[in-house]
Homo-oligomer: A and B are copies of this chain.
Amino acid sequence: MKVVITGAAGFLGSRLADALLKPNSELCVTELVLVDTILPPSRKDPRVITLALDITTPEAARKLVDTDTDVLFHLAAVVSGHAEEDFDLGMKVNFNATRSLLEAARHRATKLRFVFTSTVGVFGGDLPPIITDQTAATPQNSYGIAKAMSELLINDYSRRGFVDGRVVRLPTVSIRAGTANRAVTSFASGIIREPLNGEVAICPVPPDQELWLSSPGSVVYNLIHAATLLSSELEKWRVINLPGISVTVRKMISSLCEVSGSKVAKLVRYEHDETISAMVGSFPSRFDNSRALRLGFRVDSNFTDVIRSYILEDLKQVSFGF
Question: Chain A interface (Cβ within 8 Å of chain B)?
Answer: 87, 124-126, 128, 133-140, 142, 145, 148-149, 152-153, 155-156, 159-160, 235-237
Contact = CB atoms under 8 A, between A and B. Distances in A.
A237 B160 contact: no
A78 to B, nearest CB: 14
Given A125-B236, A126-B235, A142-B156, 13 more contacts: A125-B237, A126-B236, A126-B237, A136-B136, A136-B137, A137-B152, A138-B237, A140-B159, A140-B236, A145-B155, A145-B156, A148-B152, A152-B152
A128 B126 CA distance: 19
Contacts of A126: 134, 235-237
A312 to B, nearest CB: 39
Contacts of A134: 126, 128, 135-136
A136 B128 CA distance: 12
A50 B286 CA distance: 52
A252 B198 CA distance: 74
Closest 3 CB pairs of A and B: A125-B236, A145-B156, A149-B149
B142 A160 contact: yes
Contacts of A138: 155, 236-237
Contacts of A87: 160
A213 B142 CA distance: 34
